[in-house]
Amino acid sequence: MNPWINANVLKVHKWTENLFSLILHASISPFQAGQFTKLALNEENITSSNNIQKKKIQRAYSFVNAPSNKNLEIYIVRVPNGKLSNLLYNLKSGDSLFIKKNSFGFFTLDEIQTCETLWMFATGTAIGPYCSILQEGKDVNRFKNIVLIHAVRYKNDLTYLPLMKELHKKYNGKLKIETILSREKIDNSLHGRIPFLLKNQILEKKIGLKINSNNSHVMLCGNPFMVKDTYLFLQENRLMKKNLRRKRGHITMENYW
């Protein structure tokens, strides 16, 4: 059983017209950093007999906050004509919604073998689970280096860059961060798409570390095209394999649709 329970809205942080974060309070079960939950709101449907029925509109979202933080934080993109994201965007402090009691997923560090360098690739709002993992800080000592890469379209989409910089200071040299813009060029950020930057060795040269099957594990989270293309490149060119519970590999993936 995984029931829906009520979540109270503490704050809606509107970063841009299309990006926002919900700060919630709910009595959910303990979760692991990197896992996701489901949020829902009721939609009223009028049947042919004019009876009103309530149907839940639901979607999966990752936690941004560390599990030890009682305030739940969810980072969301507002989808044009998307029913739920637009309803969530217009919530206000004091409103309520539904959240699942128990969380989901295996995009967690305990599913990853110890290695020298852990690479965390994210596009858009998929930076969330990495923020949760790094804010919690558990089980990170198994890795000599951690590289956090956030790829977005425009500079204004780098809404969690201040937190990334805070984490960079917190880890005192262990954590390296890099931002990538695909539709804008600015100083201190790479330009292009992740598979292209890997194929041309631009990203690794900037970081100063190499990705290979001997010393690296790669986490991929975000746009399914990025995840697929990056996975295929690493499989074909770096001899890396998908990480499975029954057979350990070098690449752990999660798609954000």
Model pLDDT, residue 245: 87
Q: Reduce the DSSP state of residue 254 to 3 states and report it.
A: strand
Single pTM value for the model? 0.94
Model pLDDT, residue 46: 46
Longest dimension (CA), the chain: 66
Divide the 257 residues of the chain into consecutive groups of 10 and give the mean pLDDT of each group. Answer: 97 97 98 98 66 83 98 96 95 98 97 97 98 97 98 98 98 97 96 97 97 97 97 97 94 86
Model pLDDT, residue 160: 98
Beta strands in the chain (DSSP E): 4-14, 19-25, 36-46, 52-62, 72-77, 96-100, 117-123, 145-152, 175-181, 190-191, 216-222, 251-255
Q: Which of 2, 31, 76 is nearest to 256 (CA)?
A: 76
Cα separation of the two ends of the chain: 26
Residue type at position 196? F
Structural domains present in the chain:
4-100 (2.40.30.10), 109-255 (3.40.50.80)
Model pLDDT, residue 104: 97
Place of tokens 């001997």: 214
Model pLDDT, residue 53: 63
